[in-house]
Structure 1
């Protein structure tokens, strides 16, 4: 069914940059210029020449009317609906990350709680990829680097789309002035594009690890791919997504304003992989030191050998919801605080860097050591 959109506000939201990026990446060429007012673009298809006028300023009184005419021409030339064309024009300056829930029932919508989980997971995928683009690690805990926080602040949720149930995240990217994309190296790309490229790499590497791990049950197939962006955060986000459906499709399309020499990326992840991904996330998290971790517990053992400059304090505490023993290595200045708390049989609280070595937890560089009184 053809829909003829008349809302001027809809057309006013499409910028001249949106239009020029879209037209140039879809085979249109500048034909004429009306200085200070508009550019005229042309495209020849099957011996028929199409022409559109693109006003240069949104402040013009007839701007929305002119954009409506432009969309009507594109509708005829592309044989697509006005809704689809308007959506494509608005996304011409962003990389688009899509997550599609493929269940048949998803055409009627998804439960609100699942929708919230999906949005959180997409956010975590991009957050983790941004961190990995700076420094590949097993897990990202605590505060993220300023460059990552700045990138995340620019992300926007896009409108849902037809085709089961599709969530979209829009990642703005600076335009490119190079017409030959093969000449641009990864080092020349802006950080925003490095993030979406890293996300593609991470999804591909995780998918390969999953197909192998189903038969090998070997965590090394995940840990050997940290340099490719596989980490605890990626695995946990994908685990949460795959809990929503028997199959989830992720795709990434590139901004028309900065074309890529890579095709649209698509990959499927299956519901049966959720448990594997969650276990991989836990293993990755245990590998990574946790800075500024707060520990509360009761001292059960004190130990200091004659030839050692530091004591070993064993504390019973909760870690990730489980009762565990942790070793705190205490320097001379701190050792007396632990001895007093042990003699009083009162709990202590402190913070430091939590590390798991084999099956044993350790807390290094303890600070803010305090007794916890019952009152």
Structure 2
């Protein structure tokens, strides 16, 4: 145990309530408390009583020295370094998800700048996909992102780990927690997100094992509504593209502030062989899941009228995810007449519907709100 923290600013930043939660989670017991001044915590180590004097007022001149004393006592009891103990105290109110890219090429803990950018983007998209599923599970998530999911990814923090190329995502499970109550029963949104993420990753691993035994991708698609989305599949693929890892390990250090379900998944390792399965699952999910309320804007490039010339099929060239595609839609009545006018006059048309993909074809079902841009101005 040679690591010693001497930076007073670091020690002063340690919150008494975080230390208290940490102590309680490790079976220390508060024996005495003078509110706003100090608390005395005790436990037994090697059949001997051990005591910690925890300052409760960060304004004390010797607060940093007192916290250093707390860390020194914990170091002796736990046989761990100051740095590791302090890191656990600072994240005691967070579920910490460790994402570790493992492989011979990553033994030094470094990857290319481009690869690192892809990896971090993959981590962000992975957490966003899990947060969206915590709001409402769907096979595909499109804009707009649910407010709760966006707030979540703005709250979580990321840091670099040691050893192989690893990042740690710290998700606060109770932003309002200032007391030392641990094991709360009601799951916070952040905790639900972590649970869904780890369960989804476990399902992916199980689907890979089954596919190598002769089962098809249907194994994964059958459980997609429970949290597997095309977005999650794409994010996982980006992790492998960025890191070129042989496998990626996901593990969680659960915050003691919230009770962990007995069936929670805490550790999953997924080999690189899963990538083709993920790519195929993403493709199928996107092709078979309507994008409800999709706004299509573009030019009518072809019309196929029915015999009465008041309804027919329109082909509209417009942008989908930044790329130009031709989209088929069946229109009738005034909607078809507007499409006819847009085709004759080369005007921009806009309509809303449910976008589906079938192979290379895009179809806009249930078209509505058909307007021409010059009619809106």
Give runs of aligned pairs for residues 356-375 of structure 1, distance below 5 A: 356=356, 358-359=358-359, 360-364=361-365, 365-367=367-369, 369-370=371-372
Q: Deviations over 1:255-290 (max 9, x none)?
A: 122242447711111222223212211221222322
SS at match of 1:39: strand
Which residue matches 1:200?
198
Greater mean alpha carbon deviation, residues 316-325 or residues 260-269: 316-325
CA distance 1:318–1:333, shift in 2 (3 Å): same
Q: Aligned-pair distance for 1:210? A: 2.2
Counterpart contact for 1:101–1:247, Cα < 8 Å: yes
Q: Aligned-pair distance for 1:125? A: 1.8
Counterpart contact for 1:301–1:315, Cα < 8 Å: no
1:120 aligns with 2:121: yes
CA distance 1:227–1:145, shift in 2 (3 Å): same
CA distance 1:200–1:339, shift in 2 (3 Å): same
SS at match of 1:121: helix
Q: Aligned-pair distance for 1:196? A: 1.0
Q: 1:240 aligns with which of 216, 238, 241?
A: 238
Q: Aligned-pair distance for 1:75? A: 1.1
2-structure distance, mates of 1:105, 1:3: 29
Q: Deviations over 1:215-262 (max 9, x none)?
A: 547332222112321111111111111222111111122112224244
Counterpart contact for 2:315–2:327, Cα < 8 Å: yes
1-structure distance, mates of 2:180, 2:286: 41
TM-score relative to the length of structure 1: 0.87
Give runs of aligned pairs for residues 90-169 of structure 1, distance below 5 A: 90-106=90-106, 107-158=108-159, 160-169=160-169
Q: Aligned-pair distance for 1:89? A: 0.7
Q: What stretches of structure 2 of length at least 5 have no aligned partner?
A: none
1-structure distance, mates of 2:307, 2:59: 79
Which residue matches 1:228?
226
2-structure distance, mates of 1:223, 1:264: 20
Q: 2:298 aligns with which of 281, 290, 296?
A: 296
CA distance 1:60–1:178, shift in 2 (3 Å): closer
CA distance 1:108–1:356, shift in 2 (3 Å): closer
1-structure distance, mates of 2:217, 2:166: 31
Q: Aligned-pair distance for 1:368? A: 6.0
2-structure distance, mates of 1:264, 1:283: 27
1-structure distance, mates of 2:147, 2:323: 33
Counterpart contact for 2:92–2:256, Cα < 8 Å: yes
Which residue matches 2:47?
47
Q: Deviations over 1:51-72 (max 9, x none)?
A: 2121112222221111111111
Q: Aligned-pair distance for 1:73? A: 0.9
Counterpart contact for 2:41–2:53, Cα < 8 Å: yes
Which residue matches 2:24?
24
Q: Deviations over 1:181-228 (max 9, x none)?
A: 7xx3xxx32222111111121111121122223454733222211232
Q: CA RMSD in A?
A: 2.8
Which residue matches 2:273?
272
1-structure distance, mates of 2:237, 2:369: 35
Q: Deviations over 1:129-151 (max 9, x none)?
A: 12212211101101122222222
CA distance 1:339–1:131, shift in 2 (3 Å): same
Which residue matches 1:172?
172
Q: What stretches of structure 1 of length at least 5 have no aligned partner?
A: none
Q: Deviations over 1:45-100 (max 9, x none)?
A: 22122221211122222211111111111111111111111111101000001111
**What is the aligned length?**
364
